[in-house]
Amino acid sequence: MIGFLKRWRIGAATVVVLLAVLASTAPAAMARTLKATDTAHLYKVSVSGSNLIEQGKATGTLPGKMRAIVNIGATISGTFTISVHGVGTITGHGTATPHGSGRFESFKGSIVVTGGTGRYAHARGETGLYGTFDRESEDYALVIQTTGTLSY
Amino acid sequence: MPRLTFAARLIILAAVLAGTCLVAAADAAPSIRTRAAVNTAQSAGLSASSGGRALDPHMAANTPSASLSAAFEPERLGGRTTLRFGFQITVPGGAVPPALTAVSLSYPESLGIAFSRLGLVTCTVAQLEASGVAGCQENSIMGFGDATAEISLGSDVVGEPVPLTILRAPDEEGHIALLFDAVGTTPLNTTAVFPGALLPASPPYGGQVSIDVPLIPSVPGAPAVSIVRLRATLGPSGVTYFKPLEGRTIVYQPPGLLLPNSCPKGGFPFAAQFTFVDGSHASARTVEACPARASRRR
């Protein structure tokens, strides 16, 4: 009986140690990185002064729907949510500066992914942001392209 | 022949000297994008009859102060508008202020300048210097205005009205760029191009129009021209654009700046900072009141 208990304790201790080792390595083992390039074509939902709410279709590595609240002023800044079909959402914010002139105002900057839901609940990343804004468009058309690495 | 007063003789002498020296003075300062020449006869005539104020060098040393005005026309929340703005610079005693070298005009948050559909094409300094506003496409014009420059001629001060045109320029270093083209004819026949840029600003301002004002030489030995007053519009008022449509050219008025759907608490704030050639500064603020509820866009 004593021998059984000893073996049980040793066995239990081994399991605890193994669990501890697994627990320490689990996040690293479960974390995924994704090199993503996506393009979103956005159109006005509403506008107030320099603030736009836009949404549209995103295509590329993370296809889905994108919704963004954007301020187009001396600089361009905003927040966004990408809803990936049946998987989850990715949220973040970004800033850009204009690089272009005339009817098509282009801009360049970066976005920071701060979280999400579903598979992307722990999404993090910083990616490049490029876009154009059609100043003559009645529906305030924005094209946004993001390229970078996402961990989740 | 009528006798000339000492002041008139001094002015004529200065004007003649200026005719030979002013272009050289302008050329000697490559950072000043100014074409300047003196219309000698007009200069002398105007000066002699100007009844200008006498200069007091002690007063001129005083710090300038500034006032600012701004208004939206029309002012309908959620609607399109033209921004009318202006400033005036004074020094105690009514002397001529030192020459202005920079102006920064801060405008309210949420003012939709980018959505104005103004400045659909750009104009460059080189185009303006080569051919004036006529050398630029109409669709680059974003507004108009007029400035008043004061010029010290002898012991007199002569005011010169200077029409302005505001144009869109190619973006510079990540900033939306503007050009202010000023054309003076009498007494100084001068054209100056002031470069400006839309820069970020801290709340309650959404941005600032930063303008570099080149020193405009007046006459040899006299201070540079002082801009003492400016009134301008940024918006569709008086602006005509053209666009091709099905083989024809459509003439239209661009929509204009987009006002937010709600008014900031306390109204739309504006502020301006002025920097002068002698290193002094002045600032001014104003608030455009919220429109009456009845005039809000439905």
For residue A2, what are the contacts with CB-CB under 8 A and spacing of at least 6?
none
One-letter amino acid for residue B177 of the chain = A
Structure tokens at B283: 């600032």
- Angstrom distance (rounded) from CA A31 to CA A80: 23
Q: Sorting pLDDT into bands at 50, 70 and 90, what band is B187?
A: confident
Phi first, then psi: what are they for B115, rounded to 5°? -95, 10
CB contact under 8 A, A48 and B78: yes
Digit-coded pLDDT (tens) for B238-276:
999 999 999 999 999 999 999 999 999 999 999 999 999
Q: Give the start-to-end residue ranges of the domains of chain A.
A: 1-30, 33-151
The label of the residue with tokens 């000697």 reads B28
By the 8 A CB rule, do A150 and A43 touch? no
Write the pLDDT tens digit of every residue in B30-70. 323 344 333 333 333 333 333 344 444 444 457 899 999 99
- Has residue A2 got a pLDDT over 90? no
Instruction: Label residue B219 by pLDDT band (50, 70, 90).
Output: confident
Structure tokens at B11: 């002015």
Q: Which of A74, A102, A136 sits opposite B175 (nearest CB)?
A: A74
For an interface test with A, the pick among B75, B83, B106, B110 (most A C-beta atoms closer than 10 Å) comes out as B110
Beta bridge partners of A71: A51, A77
Question: Residue B166: which of B176, B174, B154, B175 has the closest Cα?
Answer: B176
Q: Which tens digit of pLDDT belongs to each residue from A23-59?
A: 444 444 467 999 989 999 999 999 999 999 999 999 9
Give strand pairing partners of B193.
B181
CB B287 within 8 A of CB B268: yes
What confidence tens digit (pLDDT) does each residue in B111-132 have?
Answer: 999 889 999 999 999 999 999 9
Write the pLDDT tens digit of every residue in B188-206. 788 899 999 999 999 999 9
DSSP state, residue A2: H
| Domain locations in chain B as residue ranges | 6-291
- Residue B118 phi, psi (nearest 5): -100, 150
Dihedral angle sign, alpha carbons of residues B228, B234, B239, B241: positive
CB contact under 8 A, A48 and B208: no
Query: Is B259's CB within 8 Å of A49's CB?
Result: yes
Cα separation, B147 vs B184, in Å, equals: 9
Q: Which of A61-75, A124-138, B60-74, B180-194 has the highest mean pLDDT?
A: A61-75
Is the CB of residue A38 less than 8 Å from the CB of residue A150? no
Q: How far apart are CA A107 and CA B133, in angstroms?
A: 28
3-class secondary structure, A38: strand
Is the previous residue joined to B108 through a cis bond, with omega within 30 degrees of 0? Answer: no
Minimal-distance CA residue of chain B relative to A49: B260
Which residues fall within 8 angstroms of residue A38, CB to CB, at 6 or more apart?
Answer: A58, A59, A60, A61, A62, A63, A82, A145, A146
Does residue B207 contact residue B198 with C-beta atoms inside 8 Å? yes
Probe site for chain A from B80, B171, B210, B250 (most A CB atoms < 10 A): B171
CATH 2.40.350 fits A33-151, yes or no: yes
The pLDDT value recorded for residue B293 is 66
Q: Cα(B154)–Cα(B213) distance, rounded to whole angstroms?
A: 24
B29, amino acid identity: A
